[in-house]
Amino acid sequence: MNQCHRQIFMSIFLCCMLCSTSLSALDLSISIARFQSAEGPYLEFNIFVLAPTVQADPVNQKRSIELTVLINNARTTVHADRLHLTGPADGSNFNTTRRYAMEAGTYQYLIRAKDLTDTTNIFFWEDTISILPKPNQPRLSDILLLSDVQQAKEQSPMVKHGYILHHLPFNYSKAHATKVYYYLESYLPGMSEGIYQLRIRVEEAYKNRRNQRIYERIKKRHVRPLDVIVGRVNTDDLPSGNYCLVIQLLDDQLEPISETSTYFQHSNPDYELSTIQTKEQDKLQFLDALTDDQLHYSLRAITPRMSSIYIETANKAIKSRARSQMLHALKFYWSHTEPQNPQKAYNEYMQVARAVDREFQSGFGAGFDTDRGYFYLKYGKPSMVIGDRLDPIAPPYEIWTYNEIPELRQTNVKFIFYNPSLAPGDFRLLHSTANGEINNPRWEAILYKNAPNDVEGNNFMDNPRVSDRFRRNAIRYFEDN
């Protein structure tokens, strides 16, 4: 899978995390890029923390996390980094940049973040990456996508070759953003003077396909052994959707000798509204007949299925309850996702949503506002559900298994919900193996916190394993089915 396609897949679940309206799990945007210095290759981690997903300290109202970064090769741990990050008291988002010198090879990296106020609120991510040796022929670095870039007046970890880089969280360009900036480097060993050329291209991207070219230009650059490239893509005329930014280093015949790419998602509801008004209005007239309450209910029911392209517009409409905004958000969604027969698709979906509402009612809102209802609508009916209300130590819990979740490209995906409050229907997601959802390595210790003597080891807070004693069935259900 090439880099852009791989990153498009990553964006599916990263942006779903950003857009979730029912969960407040610790959420980070992680941008990882490979660069070269005079000493050799290095990895750069740009980590952006969504402050609303971190619990505020009750005394100073600041939000803090413990961040751990591990980088391993097949033999040993190459880098182990642990630090505390604290956001400002005003509750705004916060970020950090970490750089690690590397040698050529294949590595596994693991990122774990823990909310220091609520230590059960955990983020976990791991993946592999390959590092190339110092180049002996022309090559491009990875691309960093930015919301803004400025000339730096002084040095800081956020400064790179004289620029202050404001990273674009989740590679997501919000509504009314008119530009996406980018940063990369070209390495030109053996070249000391002259001109070289880059091809900069934006393509539509959908799942595993790069489609129509939207934009392309050739850019001439002066040769430098290390050339820092900062540019921008105008997005005000781009429809909402997934895009791939492709940059190629060209030879004298304009043939690519090195290529790098990255995805981004762009939301442009104003553009879509004008398109709807001219092309699809007749197919969407059925929505005009809905009452304001029906519009509001429908929007809330559909948000579990929405990607970041739609969720920003939908959330604003849900909050305002303005009829024009709610109609706009619904038409925007259904014209985009089901252009051939939006009324049929709407009716079929709402039939399921109303059934989910009834099934998972908890007294705290609609059934689809609960965690179980949310994931039922997001991923569909689970292949198997195992529930246990009789465990004498654990609160009631349910384990859901999906044989396959196509949009995540995963099989045998599991969720465990539990009801620590014992209130009717108040089941909360505790742990999942789904990419991009809550992954809590301590889920066993949390579920069986009333049996600390069953924890394997001496440290109840840090050791996630619980011995599989009589009626500790959750562990067996989760691992065996």
**Residue 98 vs residues 26, 140, 339: alpha-carbon distances, Å:** 20, 21, 44
Do 443 and 396 lie in a common domain?
A: yes
Do 261 and 288 lie in a common domain?
A: no
> What range defines the domain where residue 160 resides?
3-266
Give phi and psi for 286, each to the nearest 5: -60, -30
Instruction: Flag whether 371 is in a domain.
Output: no
Do 300 and 393 lie in a common domain?
A: no
- Residue 9 confidence (pLDDT): 36
Burial class (CB in 10 A: 0-12, 13-18, 19+), 136: exposed
Give phi and psi for 233, each to the nearest 5: -120, 125
Total count of domains within the chain: 3
Do 313 and 427 lie in a common domain?
A: no
- Residue 14 confidence (pLDDT): 42
- Residue 19 confidence (pLDDT): 41
Give phi and psi for 381, each to the nearest 5: -70, 130
Do 276 and 420 lie in a common domain?
A: no
Query: With a cut of 70, which residues of the chain have pLDDT below it?
Result: 1-24, 206-211, 271-280, 451-472, 481
Residue that is last in its domain, among 221, 246, 266:
266
Do 347 and 200 lie in a common domain?
A: no
Q: How many helices (H) and strands (E) does the chain have?
A: 9, 22
Q: CB-based contacts of 390: which residues, under 8 Å, 6+ apart? A: 471
Query: Residue 316, Cα to own-chain centre: how many angstroms?
Result: 20
Given a contact cutoff of 8 angstroms between Cβ atoms, the answer to whether 95 and 46 are in contact is yes
Residue that is last in its domain, among 225, 243, 266:
266
Given a contact cutoff of 8 angstroms between Cβ atoms, the answer to whether 405 and 435 are in contact is no
- Residue 7 confidence (pLDDT): 46
- Give residue for tokens 């976990």: 124
Do 319 and 246 lie in a common domain?
A: no
Burial class (CB in 10 A: 0-12, 13-18, 19+), 230: middle
Query: Whole-model pTM?
Result: 0.73
CA pair distance 437, 24, nearest whole angstrom = 11
Do 467 and 325 lie in a common domain?
A: no
Instruction: Flag whether 112 is in a domain.
Output: yes
Do 77 and 103 lie in a common domain?
A: yes
Do 262 and 284 lie in a common domain?
A: no
- Residue 15 confidence (pLDDT): 43
Helix, strand or coil, per DSSP, at residue 142: coil
